[in-house]
Amino acid sequence: MLDTQLVANGYSATAPNSPSRPGFIFIGWDADITRITENTTIKPAFVEPIDARALRGELRSLPANPDIPNGIVAYDDGSTTIYVPFSHEIDGHVWFFGKPDIEYYLKANPKGFNDIADGQWWTDAIMFAAERGVYQGFADGSFNPNGLVTRAQFATVLTRLIMADHSAYTTRVFADVTPGAWYSQQIAWTYVNGIVEGVGGNRFNPNGYVTRQQMAVMINRFVNLFELDLLDKGNPDPIKDAASVAAWATEAVSAMRRYGIITGMDGAFVPQGNSTRAQVATVLQRLVVSAIEEAARISG
């Protein structure tokens, strides 16, 4: 049954009640109703729920190959080589999360950036993330390690980390995330799957810089969604700015510190602080290594 509304030119329509469809998730409407300028028909958009454990895959391993130093677990998808982000070498084997019906192999994927040199504190983490396809550089050959990371960029790297297919997520889920923007599908995917939230008023603030406590919450939700076990490093020393951590972020900040994924800065967590691209690369490397090492330990 059609629901009709009469709206003055240039004004917003009222969104209909969210529909349901067995076995699917409603993610929004296929047209922008915030400014109606002509007769418009909108249709609901649905996606199938993800199977998080299947998307992550199960623990597998390949023998390390001395002829392929720093070999990354990879597989062929038609004419494209796909590199597996969750892969890490332990004692002569490269352990990774993979699927049973894919043939994997090791392949080098060396990267270089004109502003990253050997011996810098960030080099290993940046190369780790770039070689696995989680991070990319810029057209001028730079990486910009000191550049700050936006909320849209962080949502994007999380989708790359789990190799998510977000192609069906084309509907507007926030008023300030325009469908077709380079980050729109990534934000929609992470939002629908409970990893990110908005900032209020149906806004996501995609170009705002992600704060350290927001990053902790997003990673903690990612870890829980994909059932990642992490190496427990024990209770860390108290932070001197614990009272500044928002109540909604306290649990996540505590978890990320306990697992050594996001550590303090001179005895403080700096929850409202922003993170550079180099710092985020370090966090991603810690997450991958912790998850793979703990999975390998549990497997015996």
Q: What is the pLDDT of residues 178-207, one digit of tens each?
A: 999 999 999 999 999 999 999 999 999 999
Sheet holding 105-107, edge to edge: 80-83, 72-77, 105-107
Axis-axis angle for helices 212-225, 151-161 (nearest 10):
20
State whether residue 150 is helix, strand or coil: strand
Q: How far apart are the first and last CA of the chain?
A: 58
Domain map (residue ranges) of the chain: 1-49, 53-123, 146-299
**In 19-122, at which residue ranges do the beta strands (DSSP E only) sit?**
25-29, 44-47, 58-63, 72-77, 80-83, 87-90, 93-98, 105-107
Helix and strand element counts for the chain (H, E)? 7, 8
Nearest to 26 by CA among 169, 179, 203, 206: 169
Better pLDDT: 268 or 36:
268
Is 6 a residue whose pLDDT tops 70?
Answer: no
Contacts of 87 (CB under 8 A, 6+ apart): 72, 73, 94, 95, 96, 97, 132, 288, 292
* Cβ contact 211:239 at 8 Å: no
What is the distance between the alpha carbons of residues 42 and 175, in angstroms, rounded to a whole number? 16
What is the distance between the alpha carbons of residues 13 and 38, in angstroms, rounded to a whole number? 12
Residue-wise pLDDT for 107-152, tens only, equals 999 999 999 999 999 999 999 999 999 999 999 999 999 999 999 9
Q: What does pLDDT average to over the chain?
A: 92
What is the distance between the alpha carbons of residues 190 and 195, in angstroms, rounded to a whole number? 5
- Amino acid identity, residue 222? F
Q: C-alpha angle 218/54/71, rounded to 5°?
A: 80
Is 37 a residue whose pLDDT tops 80?
Answer: no
* Cβ contact 13:33 at 8 Å: yes
Axis-axis angle for helices 277-299, 151-161 (nearest 10):
30
What is the distance between the alpha carbons of residues 296 and 94, in angstroms, rounded to a whole number? 10
Is 28 a residue whose pLDDT tops 90?
Answer: no
How confident is the model at residue 1, as a pLDDT? 46
Residue-wise pLDDT for 42-59, tens only, equals 778 889 899 999 999 999
DSSP 268: B
Residue-wise pLDDT for 160-179, tens only, equals 999 999 999 999 899 999 99
Residue 136 CA to its chain's centroid (Å)? 14
